[in-house]
Amino acid sequence: MTIKTTNEKMGQGVGFERIRRITGYLVGTMDKWNDAKRAEERDRVKHSLKKDA
């Protein structure tokens, strides 16, 4: 991998990769998700481990 370096620094413009499961498989980064699936991912709530929630 080659990245841009300036003044002895590196990483400018490089984002974080965020990997999520889509419909059973993983997708490298969410950039490739369609709009509906992105919205679904945004809306997901975490599930608690309590039995009586």
Partner 1 sequence: MIQSIIKRDGRVVLYDQNKIAAAILKALEAVQEGNAMDAARVANDVQRELEGKFLDNSPNIEAIQDAVERQLMNHGFSAAAKAYILYRANRTRAREANTKLMKTIDEITNIDARISDMKRDNANIDGNTAMGSMLQIGAAGAKAYNEMYLLRPEHAKAYREGDIHIHDFDFYSLTTTCCQTDITKLFKDGFSTGHGYLREPQSIQSYAALAAIAIQSNQNDQHGGQSIPNFDYGMAEGVAKTYRKAFGRRLRDALEDLLDTDLEQDALFALVARAEAVSGEKARLENTPAFDDAIIRELMAEYPINRANAEKLLKKVKERSFRKTDRDTKQAMEGFVHNLNTMHSRAGAQTPFSSINYGTDTSAEGRMVIKNILLALDAGLGHGETCIFPIHIFKVKEGVNYNETDPNYDLFRLSCKVSARRLFPNYTFLDAPYNLQYYVPGRPETEVSTMGCRTRVMGNVYDPTREISFSRGNLSFTSINLPRLAIESNGDEKVFFEKLLSMLELVAQQLLDRFEIQASKHVYNYPFLMGQGVWLDADKLSPNDTLRDVLKHGTLSIGFIGLAETLTALYGQHHGQSEEMQEKGKQILGFMRKFCDDKSKELKMNFTLLGTPAEGLSGRFIRMDQKRYGKLPGITDREYYTNSFHIPVWFPISAYDKIRLEAPYHALCNAGHISYVELDGDTAHNVEAFESIVRCMHDFGIGYGSINHPVDRDPICGYVGIIGDVCPRCGRREGEEIPFERAEELRRKYPNMPAFQGIN
Bridge partner list, 27: 20
The CB-of-41 to partner 1 minimum distance in angstroms stands at: 8
Binding residues for partner 1, total number by CB under 8 A: 46
Residues in contact with partner 1, shown as a per-residue x/- string from 15 to 44 under the rule CB under 8 A: xxxxxxxxxxxxxx--xxxxxxx-xx--xx
Burial of 37 (0-12, 13-18, 19+ CB in 10 A): middle
Binding site for partner 1 (CB under 8 A): 1-3, 5-6, 8-28, 31-37, 39-40, 43-53
